[in-house]
């Protein structure tokens, strides 16, 4: 029976999981899966390390109405697989706040601190923490590790992370945190293998998915990010607006009579590509649609990506490489091409054939900037952090 680490990434309607075996201090992925459509059309899918399908099972909505029920289904299925002895569970936790600049072993005190941050990431934090509580109830002695999306961005100078508010607000934790840090940390490591000559240079990584942001890397470390205090800031996303004049929020409350809950729902669930297009929050649907609203939303997305890239290039003092990652970044040649075109002023030249083929390097030999497509692997980073923490005396 192999020692193993379970990695959990819980969302509002899905629960993703992976098992990594520990062999001679190294990690090897054994299986991955998810149960999605929780409460509506639950479906459990799992694959082995070789990509073989291990399970593909649908459930009635009443049988898997919530995350707790989904966790029970996953736990039961994993126990049936056998062959593994869990040493720890690693969790993706979106917001670590000012207290955590690295992964942390979870106890009741840590859980209480993370619970206090739920209002700063209402789409993510409550769901991230739910499986932690369930695991505590089942076996309190099982080591659990929280790996934060904010941790990779910590260490920026205060003058870059503060808002122009009285200093007391910064001291109370109102500051820029940045997110998608596990993804950026993985990409920073991968670049040392893929393009070592650029990895320590000036790099922008574009994590483009339903949630979207960009990060400026210098010497493999984050120096700036498009996201701030919450995951609402920066690029427009599937259902979130991205950068927004705070006066809009004041107007909605004071002039339109909207409650805080209504504004929160608008900004987290009904804005972004969904709100602009009136069609969908999924970029695949928008690219396939003939509706004017779909093209309008895509145009806005490209425009804001170009603006934010320019901002990060200014922060870096130039640019050596631009990396596309996450769902849209890895899988949409059309979006990559349009963003690359807007980077022409920085010396970017796209190789259309390489882009369509999904090659790792999609820039021409004469391009001053290396354009790359690098799949991210947040789960592997969580497993590595978890192993390192439980092996530390």
Please tell me which residue in 149, 233, 320, 377 is annotated as part of the active site: 149
Ranges of H-type helices in the chain:
67-81, 108-115, 125-138, 158-161, 167-171, 181-194, 196-199, 246-254, 260-269, 272-277, 283-288, 292-316, 326-331, 333-342, 352-357, 378-390
Q: Calculate the alpha carbon distances from 50 to 2, 86, 152, 366, 369 in Å.
A: 18, 21, 31, 38, 35
Please state, in angstroms and rounded to a whole number, the distance separating the CA atoms of residues 303 and 260.
Answer: 29
DSSP-assigned letters across all residues of 355-369: HHHT-SB-B-TT-SS
Q: Structure tokens of 106?
A: 């979870």
Q: Which residues contact 192 (CB under 8 A, 6 or more apart)?
A: 199, 220
Stretch (H or E) spanning 2: strand 2-10
Is residue 101 among the annotated active site residues? no
Q: Judging by beta carbons within 10 Å of its beta carbon (0-12, 13-18, 19+), is residue 196 exposed, middle or buried?
A: exposed
Q: Which residues contact 250 (CB under 8 A, 6 or more apart)?
A: none
Active site residues: 149
């Amino acid at each position: 029976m192999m020692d193993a680490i379970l990695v959990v990434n819980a969302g509002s309607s899905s629960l993703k999981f992976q098992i990594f075996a520990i062999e001679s201090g190294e990690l090897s992925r054994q299986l991955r899966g998810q149960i999605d459509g929780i409460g509506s059309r639950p479906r459990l899918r799992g694959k082995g390390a070789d990509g073989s399908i291990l399970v593909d099972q649908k459930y009635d909505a009443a049988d898997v109405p919530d995350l707790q029920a989904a966790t029970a289904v996953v736990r039961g299925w994993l126990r049936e697989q056998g062959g593994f002895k869990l040493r720890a569970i690693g969790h993706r936790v979106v917001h670590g706040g000012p207290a955590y600049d690295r992964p942390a072993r979870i106890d009741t005190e840590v859980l209480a601190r993370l619970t206090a941050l739920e209002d700063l990431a209402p789409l993510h934090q409550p769901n991230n923490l739910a499986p932690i509580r369930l695991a505590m109830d089942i076996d309190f002695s099982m080591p659990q590790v929280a790996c934060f999306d904010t941790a990779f961005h910590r260490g920026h100078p205060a003058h870059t992370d503060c808002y122009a508010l009285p200093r007391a607000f910064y001291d109370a934790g109102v500051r820029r945190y940045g997110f998608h840090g596990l993804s950026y940390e993985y990409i920073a490591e991968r670049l040392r293998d893929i393009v070592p000559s650029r990895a320590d240079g000036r790099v922008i990584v574009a994590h483009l998915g339903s949630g979207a942001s960009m990060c400026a890397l210098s010497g493999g470390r984050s120096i700036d990010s498009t996201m701030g205090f919450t995951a609402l800031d920066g690029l427009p996303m599937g259902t979130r607006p991205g950068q927004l004049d705070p006066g809009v929020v004041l107007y909605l409350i004071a002039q339109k009579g909207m409650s805080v809950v209504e504004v929160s729902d608008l900004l987290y669930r009904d804005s972004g590509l969904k709100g602009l297009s009136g069609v969908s929050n999924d970029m695949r649907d928008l690219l396939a649609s003939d509706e004017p609203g779909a093209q309008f939303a895509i145009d806005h997305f490209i425009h804001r990506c170009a603006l934010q890239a320019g901002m990060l290039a200014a922060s870096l003092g130039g640019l050596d490489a631009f990396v596309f990652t996450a769902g849209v970044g890895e899988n949409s040649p059309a979006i990559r091409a349009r963003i690359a075109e807007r980077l022409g002023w920085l010396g970017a030249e796209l190789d259309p054939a390489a882009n369509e083929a999904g090659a790792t390097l999609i820039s021409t030999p004469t391009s001053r900037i290396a354009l790359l497509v690098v799949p991210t692997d947040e789960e592997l980073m969580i497993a590595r952090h978890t192993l390192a923490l439980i092996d530390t005396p």
